[in-house]
């Protein structure tokens, strides 16, 4: 092909490319140039049992009573996705604080719901949206130590999100999930025993 013919075609194509680029929102254009955000730590595969590592949880992520002012009444659960803590309001400016793993960038959310269901050693059926992103996941996994939902699950409203245990305690304090909140099994059992169905859950994403 002649050089002058190639340059002519490039010259005709460039204005169209500039129009398309200018029509894209700045954020979309930037996102198209980089990979999807990665979790802050690699997650453990379903079926792998790392629950013995609960003992390695750092002191600041362990369940503890803390000073906490809140406008919500005792018994309310507050999840702060930025700080990666879950608070159970106790009254008198006190709360029980639990370290949690939260959704990675792009999968974090906020809102007010209630606990609609509770389950011990729940089975896990990944939702279709998760299967679409991670087609290698099992379509069903019975409850047990290697199950990603861990020892207990508290289901949030009519969403696909849960507060649950984990087979990967090393991910507590990290942003790794698809939007659920995970605690070490000892802590999720403690929370499960303290809160009834109907408990208000406030998710603060800031």
Q: For the segment 143-191, what is each residue's pLDDT rounded down to a tens digit?
A: 998 999 999 999 999 999 999 999 999 999 999 999 999 999 999 999 9
Q: Examine the pLDDT at 1 and tell me if it is beyond 70.
A: no
| Residue range 48-107, pLDDT digits in tens | 889 888 889 999 999 999 999 999 999 999 999 999 999 999 999 999 999 999 999 888
Is there a single domain that holds both residue 57 and residue 137? Answer: yes
205 is catalytic: no
Q: Examine the pLDDT at 26 and tell me if it is beyond 80.
A: no
Contacts of 203 (CB under 8 A, 6+ apart): 79, 81, 109, 110, 111, 112, 113
CATH code: domain of residue 70: 2.40.440.10
164 is catalytic: yes
Is there a single domain that holds both residue 8 and residue 56? Answer: no
Domain enclosing residue 70, as ranges? 51-204
pLDDT value at position 39? 82
Is there a single domain that holds both residue 14 and residue 91? Answer: no
What's this model's pTM, rounded to 2 decimal places? Answer: 0.78
pLDDT value at position 37? 63
Element (H, E) at 19: helix 3-23
pLDDT value at position 41? 73
3-state SS class at 52:
helix
- Catalytic-labelled residue, pool 50, 113, 164, 205: 164
Is there a single domain that holds both residue 23 and residue 62? Answer: no
Is there a single domain that holds both residue 85 and residue 164? Answer: yes
Q: Examine the pLDDT at 24 and tell me if it is beyond 50.
A: no
The count of structural domains within the chain is 2
Rounded CA gap, 58 and 152, in Å? Answer: 21
Whether 110 maps to a domain, the answer reads yes
* Mean pLDDT of all residues in 18-35: 37
Is there a single domain that holds both residue 18 and residue 66? Answer: no
Q: Which residue, chain included where needed, has tokens 């005709």? A: 12
């Amino acid at each position: 092909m002649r050089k002058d013919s190639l340059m002519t075609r490039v010259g005709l194509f460039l204005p169209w490319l500039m129009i398309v680029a200018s029509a894209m929102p700045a954020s979309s254009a930037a996102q198209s140039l980089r990979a999807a955000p990665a979790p802050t730590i690699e997650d453990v595969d379903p079926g792998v049992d790392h629950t013995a590592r609960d003992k390695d949880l750092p002191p600041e992520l362990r369940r503890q009573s803390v000073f906490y002012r809140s406008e919500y009444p005792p018994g309310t659960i507050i999840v702060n996705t930025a700080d990666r803590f879950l608070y159970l309001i106790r009254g008198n400016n006190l709360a029980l604080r639990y370290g949690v793993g939260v959704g990675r960038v792009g999968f974090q959310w906020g809102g007010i719901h209630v606990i609609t269901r509770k389950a011990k050693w729940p089975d896990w059926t990944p939702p279709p949206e998760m299967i679409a992103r991670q087609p290698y996941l099992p379509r069903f996994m019975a409850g047990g130590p290697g199950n990603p939902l861990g020892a207990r699950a508290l289901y949030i409203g009519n969403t696909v999100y849960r507060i649950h245990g984990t087979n990967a305690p090393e991910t507590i304090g990290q942003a790794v999930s698809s939007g659920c909140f995970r605690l070490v099994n000892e802590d999720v059992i403690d929370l499960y025993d303290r809160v009834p169905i109907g408990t208000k859950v406030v998710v603060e994403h800031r």
